[in-house]
Amino acid sequence: MSTESTQAIEEAASAWLIRRDSGGWRPPDEARLQEWLKASSFHRVAFWRLEQAWEEAERLKALGAGVEGHQPPPRGQWNLTPFFDSPDQKVRLEDDTAVDVQTDTSSEAPDEKDRVASIGRDVAAAGLVPIRKARLKTHRPRRILVFASAASVLLAVAAGLYVWFNPSGDRYATPVGGLASVPLRDGSNITLNTATEVHVALTGKERDVELAHGEAFFEVAKDAKRPFVVNAGKKRVIAVGTQFSVLRDGDDIRVIVSEGTVRIEDRVARSGAGPQPPALPLTAASSPDAVLLSAGSVAHAGDAGVLVQKETPSETQEQLSWRTGVLMFRDQTLGEAAAEFNRYNERQIVIQDPTIASLKIEGNFRATNVDAFVRLLESGFPVRATESDSQILLTSN
Amino acid sequence: MRNECNVLVMGDIGEPLEVWFKREILSHEEMLMRFLARVWRNRDELTDIRQEAYARVYEASQKARPQAPKAFLFATARHLMADRVRRERIVSIRAGGDSDFLNVLVDEVTPERRASAGEELARLAHAFDRLTDKCREVVWLRRVKDLSQREVAEHLGLSEKTVEKHLRTGARLLAHYTRTNALIARGARRATDDLDEINENEQTDDEKDDDETGT
């Protein structure tokens, strides 16, 4: 423990930081600063922390670009839209995140930059490794991002997320066992579960997401003028500002609403005869097949219709626990649990014996730690596991 | 598709510790504070625990940089809290489990999520707006308009010393506000009280500055 108070150290650190930039900083001053930094780890980390924030503050320039004179803009009146065009959009890509670019397109598309930046940050944050190094440098000031608008660009990362940028919409995909969070430009956020692919197209009129396969959780930023539409199989799910997940298995979908209201309805078949009609506002009377779902609803929808169950908030949260990489089982059969694990792992659990499959289990598990699950089964149940590279066969003991 | 999870290699070899530390450790502050606020009842100690965790992680990283920096940071914070409980024989853990913080997995605090560049800028603007008028003006001139400290002083009719004081406060508050938005949104205001106080004092000082200008 340090004998100085945290506050006193922070004060001292701020004094060093500002004095260093004040002009008239000489080698003896630098020597004294270094001495102070060396005196305690608490000094050093406090200084770095403030220094980082102070460096970041320079990004205010991006907001001050159009501001005349010396006065800062009035509070709350920031023009945040053209930020991507800022001269000081310092992105993570610059320092260490090499990103794999598999096309050689080179036209200017400034708004791609923002997207790349945010993805780059995601990648950096998740500690992922680029497959091939092709350093994407963004120089300041005022760099031009050489990026595609004509062809699509694939950003591939090893563990979490595959990303393709394309003028008609972006594609994001996770591998088996993957989990990734994708912030969208409208402020919404999509969390992709294992083996999932979504296509995102944001336009002025609509926010359109195609769930090609898998499961995703949507946190929708409120925008009454632009409904957020998730297309999955023959259904579409429409929201304005809410939180819900959609799981797709062929044409069957399961929708869990954890906040707000969504509408689920049939998707007009795309017969090539033009686009489907725009999504109506949530409150508007719509086709008879539409079903409104409120928070706590779990809907199973398929050709046969829509089945809605009501759950308590804690039950829905359990069902959405995959967002933290955890599977929660309450009074489920081993067969159901095995099927769930098989979504997250290449190595599949195989149960041929129905008496084993109907065993009831309960507990929380890491979705990708199938080994721990199997070991626990062996110790607690009359079950024996025979493992190979591709599967784990469970038989009765 | 291939499953290549659990690979974790970051940063170039030979990258300065400072650069690595800022990126891999300091960038988790918001999440760390949210975690601390959740499990540690005494709000006054949150920043102490945070800074001590940073210091310990820094010391350990001088020898060898942890492979999973974020997990290491949270584990360090957990150990520090456990130490405090032992040392002071206090029970300051929130209801719902005596040693809740020992069990919380990092990932369970919230799924990995990074703000987009736009969101970060919005957050910065919001943090900047929370500064007092004078402090805001000084930081703007210095940081955005690139005026020297002396030019700022001349422009605003303040002493250089006063400008310097505003800049110091600005740096501290921006560090704080840009990293604790979510905490505040969740109503855990107390964690920020001490710094908000600085901001309020700053307000009083502003009035003095105005006097200074007047004379």
pLDDT surpasses 90 at A111:
no
CA–CA–CA angle A98, B71, A154 (5° rounding): 25
Q: Do B175 and A52 touch (CB under 8 A)?
A: yes
Between residues A51 and B129, the one the model is more confident about: A51
| Chain A 336-355, residues with CB within 8 Å of chain B CB atoms | 345-346
**Mind telling me how many Å the CA of A261 is from chain B's nearest CA?**
23
pLDDT of residue B55: 96
Measured distance CA(A16)–CA(A29) in Å, rounded? 9
Q: Exposed/middle/buried for A173, CB within 10 Å: 0-12, 13-18, 19+?
A: buried
Q: How confident is residue A379, by pLDDT bands cut at 50, 70 and 90?
A: confident
Amino acid at A180: A
Predicted local confidence at residue A332, as pLDDT: 80
Q: Could you give all domains of chain A from N- to C-terminal order, each with its CATH number?
A: 6-60 (no CATH), 81-167 (no CATH), 186-268+279-321 (2.60.120.1440), 325-396 (3.55.50.30)
CB contact under 8 A, B117 and A89: yes
The β-bridge relationship of strands A391-396 and A348-351 is parallel
Contact criterion met (CB < 8 Å) for B116 and A60: no
Which residues in chain A have their CB less than 8 angstroms from residue B149's CB? 21-23
pLDDT > 70? residue A278: no
Q: Do B143 and A178 touch (CB under 8 A)?
A: no
pLDDT of residue B181: 56
Contact B23 A124 (CB under 8 A): yes
pLDDT of A279? 59
Which pLDDT score is estimated for B141? 93
pLDDT of A145 reads: 33
The pLDDT of residue A178: 84
* Spans in chain B with pLDDT lower than 70: 1-14, 87-118, 181-198, 200-215
Q: What is the pLDDT of residues A13-45, one digit of tens each?
A: 999 999 998 878 889 999 999 999 999 999 999
Residue B127 three-state SS: helix
Choose among B121, B20, B131: nearest CA to A48: B20
**Bridge partners, residue A238, by sequence:** A229, A263
- The C-alpha of B147 sits at a distance from chain A's nearest C-alpha, in angstroms, of 10
Single out the residue of B161, B122, B164, B118 nearest to residue B139, CA to CA.
Answer: B164
A128/B139 CB distance under 8 A: no
Using the predicted structure, report yes or no on whether residue A116 has a pLDDT greater than 60: no
A348-351 and A261-266: which strand pairing?
unpaired
Neighbours of A1 (CB within 10 A): 11
- How high is the pLDDT of residue B118? 67
Please indicate whether, in this complex, the C-beta atoms of A70 and B167 are within 8 angstroms of each other.
no
Residues of B in contact with A181 (CB under 8 A): 111-114
Query: For chain A, what is the mean pLDDT?
Result: 74
The overall pTM is greater than 0.90:
no
A18 and chain B in contact, CB less than 8 A = yes
What domains are defined for chain B? 17-109 (1.10.1740), 117-209 (1.10.10.10)
* CB proximity A314 to B under 8 Å: no
Contacts of A390 (CB under 8 A, 6+ apart): A346, A347, A348
ipTM of the complex: 0.81
Nearest to A96 among B12, B120, B137 (CB): B12
CA distance A34 to chain B (A): 13
Q: In the prediction, which pLDDT does B47 show?
A: 92
| pLDDT tens digits, A182-238 | 888 888 999 999 999 999 998 888 899 999 999 999 999 988 889 999 999 889 999
Return the residue of A nearest to B24 by Cα: A125
Shortest CA distance to B32 belongs to which of B51, B50, B44?
A: B50
Q: What is the pLDDT of residue B208?
A: 57
Choose from A37-41, A256-260, A379-383 the range with maximum mean pLDDT. A37-41
pLDDT at residue number B198: 67
User: What are the DSSP calls for B41-92, one per residue?
Assistant: --GGGHHHHHHHHHHHHHHHHHH---SSHHHHHHHHHHHHHHHHHHHHT---
Cβ burial of B26 (10 Å; 0-12, 13-18, 19+) is buried
User: A-chain residues within 8 Å CB-CB of B139?
Assistant: 57, 60
Beta carbons of A162 and B118 less than 8 Å apart: no
